[in-house]
Amino acid sequence: MIGILCKHWQISPEEFGRLFNISNPEPFYNGTATLSVPLYERFTKVMNLATKMEKEDSIALELEAFQQEHDLSMKELSNGIKVSTDTIQRWMNLEAKPNRASTLRVAAYINRSPLEEEWGYQFDRLRGYMKTLGLRKGHVAKQMGVTMAMFSSYITGKSNPRTPYMELWLPWLTDFNDSMDKVIRVWKNTPNKH
């Protein structure tokens, strides 16, 4: 059934895996494995929203509501959906319609899991601290034990790690960000400032 739905929405097994954080999507796509209950529930929500947006031609309304609810910039929205800001703008201005695969990506982004929400929030914090303190990507990537290319895709929002890795790194990332927050507070309160 998942394979049929994915073909309808014009996404590959790899894209299905990326959207739902499944490291080995082939068995689910081919019907030889079944989704866990929470993943099946999320999959159903995403498919229902994608179907609604396509049928009612309401992608602009959904994007605008989500953007306002989460106070997102156009750049943050485009990074999350993995399309250009111009494309998002054309969809929201009703100048263009997304294809089926893009509609599904939007639905998956709007229906992100709480884990993905927290990951995005912590990486937003990390980006800010890296900029403020001049931390280099290579240092943080090395500390996390990932390649520079992998870390770059996380920090730019182009991809997220699979769920087990998010669960593994999120406590460290939260602690790191909390520590950087303390460093910045101390830094800003240096007594010898002129």
> Is the CA virtual torsion 169, 171, 174, 178 positive or negative?
negative
pLDDT digits (tens, 9 = 90+) for 35-59: 877 778 888 889 999 999 999 999 9
For the segment 131-149, what is each residue's pLDDT rounded down to a tens digit? 888 989 999 899 888 899 9
Residues 61 and 131 grouped into a single domain: no
- Same domain, residue pair 69 and 20: yes
Judgement on whether residues 45 and 96 belong to the same structural domain of the protein = yes
- Own/partner contacts of 169-173, CB < 8 Å, gap of 24 or more, are 169/144, 170/115, 170/118, 170/119, 170/122, 172/144, 173/119, 173/122, 173/123, 173/126
* Domain contains 23: yes
Q: For 81-133, how does the pLDDT look when each residue is reduced to its tens digit (9 = 90+)? A: 888 999 999 999 999 999 999 999 999 988 887 787 788 878 888 988 898 88
Q: Is residue 194 part of a domain?
A: no
CB 106 within 8 A of CB 98: yes
141 and 83 both lie in a single domain:
no
41-45 own/partner pairs: CB under 8 Å, 24+ apart: 42/111, 42/113, 43/2, 45/111
Structure tokens at 79: 């990074």
Residue 83 and residue 125 in one domain: no
For 47-64, b where at least 16 C-beta lie within 10 A, e where not — what string? bebbbebbeeeebbebbe
Asked if residue 192 has pLDDT above 80, the reply is: no
Q: Is residue 72 part of a domain?
A: yes
Does 26 share its domain with 62? yes
pTM: 0.64
Domains contained in the chain, number: 2
Phi, psi of 24 (to 5 degrees): -125, 85
**Distance from C-alpha of 79 to C-alpha of 173, rounded to nearest angstrom:** 20
Where does a domain end: 53, 81, 110? 110
Asked whether residue 75 falls in the same domain as residue 38, the answer is yes
Report if residue 59 sits inside a domain: yes
Residues 42 and 132 in one domain: no
On whether residue 193 sits in a domain, the answer given is no
Q: Could you tell me if 133 and 172 lie in one domain?
A: yes
Domain with 96 in it = 2-110
Do residues 163 and 181 share a domain? yes
Q: Which amino acid is at 153?
A: S
Are residue 92 and residue 6 in the same domain, yes or no?
yes
Report yes or no: 158 and 82 within 8 Å, Cβ to Cβ. Answer: yes
Tell whether 76 and 132 lie within a shared domain: no
pLDDT (0 to 100) of residue 112: 80
> What pLDDT is attached to residue 194?
57
Helix axes 114-133 and 137-144, enclosed angle (nearest 10): 140
| Confidence class for position 63, pLDDT limits 50, 70, 90 | very high
- Given this model, what pLDDT does residue 93 score? 93
